[in-house]
Amino acid sequence: MHLQKLKDYTEKKLDIDGNEVSLQIWDTACQERYRTLVKNYYNGSKAAILVYDISKSSTFDEIKKYWYKEIKENCPDIILGIAGNKFDLFSIEEITEEEGRKFAKEIGAFFYLTSAKESVGIEDLFREVGKKFIENKNNNSYNNDDNLVNSKLSQDKLKKNKKNCC
């Protein structure tokens, strides 16, 4: 099966402190039908971002109950991030930022709130992955459990997007 039959693929190149980092981003949309194929994509990966929809608690539960365990079982030393997406729907959130951060802390992941629709936090999220990769590469380690980063979008960005989203 050709790799691009999954939902979405893109490549992003970043310059982080003079280091070029190339991210291959596979969006599987956590769909049930892709579960058997997904191992082929994350096997050997250095980083994973588990994304949930802040307005649907079922997506958060799916990450906690299935995807986190699946990733850690197959890639125990992976750099791991959690993203609470659809921040533009904050008025109907079912999962609070505090809940997302708490889970990220429990599993040794970094955390971001994002809105793909409003392009909030996405660039920061990818830059964090790149920074973690460089840190781990420089330390010859790919275990991020001791490198917890709870990054938060600036309050200005959040306030600006709260005003513009509805």
Could you state, in order of their start, the residue ranges of all structural domains in the chain?
A: 21-164
Average pLDDT, the chain: 76
CATH topology of domain 21-164: Rossmann fold (3.40.50)
Per-residue tokens: 44: 């050997």
pLDDT in tens, 155-166: 333 444 444 443
Give the span between the Cα atoms of 164 and 160, in whole angstroms: 6
CA distances from 110 to 4, 32, 39 (A): 28, 25, 22
Closest residue by Cα to residue 144 from 83, 38, 72:
72
Comparison of pLDDT for 162 and 149, the residue scoring more: 162
- Assessment of whether the complete model's pTM goes beyond 0.85: no
CB of 111 closer than 8 Å to CB of 101: yes
Confidence of residue 34 (pLDDT cuts 50, 70, 90): low
Helical ranges in the chain per DSSP H? 35-42, 57-62, 68-74, 97-107, 122-138, 155-164
pLDDT in tens, 36-51: 666 666 677 788 899 9
